[in-house]
């Protein structure tokens, strides 16, 4: 009996003093759990510290682009530039009551984008680039300051849109098929692309300092400055009530570092651009308008060897939409769109080859003007359970050019074939 008790006591002591026991609540009780947590941390995204949050998000957006330029048609697998594949890292931390700081790092992928392919190239650029990389400090009462690679105030100014159908079609019509070359009626190519004859003047990102005011009665005022030398100012207003949602933006920018987003004429410019959208929530009906006007500063030696300032460039874009709940997946967004674009190609530096490719009479010396029109329709089906959108959109594109001879008289231009596109694909967000 004594021997049995001795063995039992030894066993109890060994049990109590062992380094890991499931029922042990001593100092090493969680060793197994900590080991498991360490394994999980090694395979997941982790914050660098416990003070600043980290959110990893992104999306994959791929589609099939069908196109027809009047003589040739084909289909390519592309990345949809309307809302391209990206990956973002964002976070923030509270400094004190009413003050916080944060950061935004966004990487966009060049995965054969829909604005980079053309008749002779079904493989656009590959790789990735940094879209945003900046820090910010925000006060509830004083507003927000951002420094680094960030959105200019004119970024998204022409893109206010309640249709929920922007994946298939929005004001940036150059993002679907913009690199395709204009096809003449005789089957030869002109020396221009569709992206040369329209553009929605979006400001994109730049290395800037930006300020956004606090929201006051629905208004937010913003200003940004940077690069060498680009500055923007803008005003945004949003409100809702009585079944309606409204948002509008107007922005102005000056670029004085001899860059041009349209035809590459190397001139400084100032641009007024904006958009507005209204949604009637009970019916789902919505309407969107965008527009802009760009004035050129200075002159270029035109195709006729005369120094000339290009004509002011302008556009109007309109969309009518309907958000309907037709199934249990999520909203179905139907839309129709129209865009008008004027004088995107005038006073072209070293433009002799362009003029020759558009001249049907052989007597033209320069391009005096042009008009392009785009109309289309489509649908986007939202699948809320998977953070997914499936879409299809059709567009029809036309353009006409005005040419003049040495006396200023109009001459015939080569007819340009109409261009048709259909984009069908899906975006999934995470």
**Is residue 12 assigned to a domain?**
no
Which of 94-120 are b and which e, b meaning 16 or more Cβ less than 10 Å from the residue's Cβ? eeeeeebebbbbbbbbbbbbbbbbbbe
Q: Residue 20: inside a domain, yes or no?
A: no
Asked if residue 142 belongs to a domain, the reply is yes
Residue 422 lies in a domain: yes
Q: Is residue 48 part of a domain?
A: no
- Dihedral class, residue 265 (left if φ above 0, else alpha if ψ from -120 to 50, else beta): alpha
Predicted local distance difference test score (pLDDT) of residue 416: 98
253 closest CA partner among 198, 208, 317, 309:
208
Number of independent structural domains in the chain = 1
- Residue 247: domain span: 54-429
Question: For each of the chain's 430 residues, which pLDDT tens digit applies?
Answer: 333 333 333 343 333 333 333 334 344 555 666 776 666 555 555 567 789 999 999 999 999 999 999 999 999 999 999 999 999 999 999 999 999 999 999 999 999 999 999 999 998 889 999 999 999 999 999 999 999 999 999 999 999 999 999 999 999 999 999 999 999 999 999 999 999 999 999 999 999 999 999 999 999 999 999 987 899 999 999 999 999 999 999 999 999 875 544 455 678 999 999 999 999 999 999 999 999 999 999 999 999 999 999 999 999 999 999 999 999 999 999 999 999 999 999 999 889 999 999 999 899 999 999 999 999 999 999 999 999 999 999 999 999 999 999 999 999 999 999 999 999 999 999 9
Contacting residues for 275 by C-beta, under 8 A, at least 6 apart: 157, 158, 159, 160, 161, 171, 248, 249, 288, 289, 290, 291
Within a domain: 7: no
pLDDT of 421:
98
pTM assigned to the model? 0.88
Which one-letter DSSP state was computed for residue 284?
Answer: T
User: Domain with 115 in it: what CATH number?
Assistant: 2.40.160.10
Q: What is the DSSP string of 216-273?
A: BTTEEEEEEEETTTEEEEEEEEEEEETTEEEEEEEEEEEE-SS--SSS----EEEEEE
Q: Is the dihedral of CA 376, 377, 381, 382 positive or negative?
A: positive
Classify residue 140: in a domain, yes or no: yes
């Amino acid at each position: 009996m004594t021997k049995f008790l001795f063995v039992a006591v030894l066993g109890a002591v060994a049990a109590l003093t062992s380094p890991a026991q499931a029922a042990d609540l001593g100092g090493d009780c969680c060793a197994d759990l900590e080991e498991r947590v360490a394994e999980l941390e090694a395979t997941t995204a982790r914050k660098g510290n416990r003070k600043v949050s980290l959110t990893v998000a992104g999306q994959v957006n791929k589609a099939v682009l069908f196109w027809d330029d009047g003589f040739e048609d084909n289909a390519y697998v592309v990345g949809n530039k309307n809302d391209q594949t990206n990956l973002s890292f964002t976070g923030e931390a509270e400094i004190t009551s009413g003050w916080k700081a944060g950061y935004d790092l966004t990487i966009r992928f060049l995965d054969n984008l829909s604005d980079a392919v053309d008749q002779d190239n079904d493989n656009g650029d590959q790789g990735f680039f940094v879209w945003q990389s900046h820090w910010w400090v925000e006060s509830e009462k004083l507003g927000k300051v951002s420094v680094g690679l960030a959105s200019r105030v004119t970024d998204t100014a022409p893109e206010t849109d309640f249709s929920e159908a922007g994946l298939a079609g929005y004001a940036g019509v150059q993002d679907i098929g913009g690199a395709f070359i204009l096809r003449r009626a005789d089957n030869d190519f002109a020396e221009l692309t569709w992206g040369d004859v329209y553009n929605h003047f979006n400001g994109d990102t730049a290395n800037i300092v930006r300020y956004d005011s606090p929201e006051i009665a629905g208004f937010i005022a913003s200003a940004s400055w940077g690069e060498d030398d680009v500055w923007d100012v803008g005003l945004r207003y949003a409100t809702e009530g009585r079944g309606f949602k409204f948002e509008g933006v107007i922005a102005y920018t000056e670029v004085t570092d001899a860059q041009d987003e349209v035809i590459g004429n190397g001139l400084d410019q100032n641009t007024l651009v904006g958009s507005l959208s209204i949604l009637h929530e009970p019916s789902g009906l919505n309407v969107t308008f965008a527009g802009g006007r760009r004035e050129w500063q200075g002159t270029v030696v035109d195709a006729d060897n005369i120094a000339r300032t290009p004509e002011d460039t302008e556009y109007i874009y309109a969309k009518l939409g309907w958000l309907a709940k037709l199934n249990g997946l999520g909203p179905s967004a139907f839309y129709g769109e129209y865009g008008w674009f004027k004088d995107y190609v005038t006073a072209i530096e070293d433009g002799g080859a362009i003029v020759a490719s558009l001249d049907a009479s052989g007597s033209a010396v320069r391009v005096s003007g042009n008009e392009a029109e785009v109309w289309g329709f489509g649908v986007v089906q939202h699948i809320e359970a998977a953070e997914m959108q499936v879409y299809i959109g059709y567009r029809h594109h036309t353009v006409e050019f005005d040419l003049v001879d040495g006396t200023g008289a109009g001459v015939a231009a080569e007819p340009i074939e109409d261009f048709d596109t259909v984009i069908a694909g899906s975006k999934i967000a995470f």
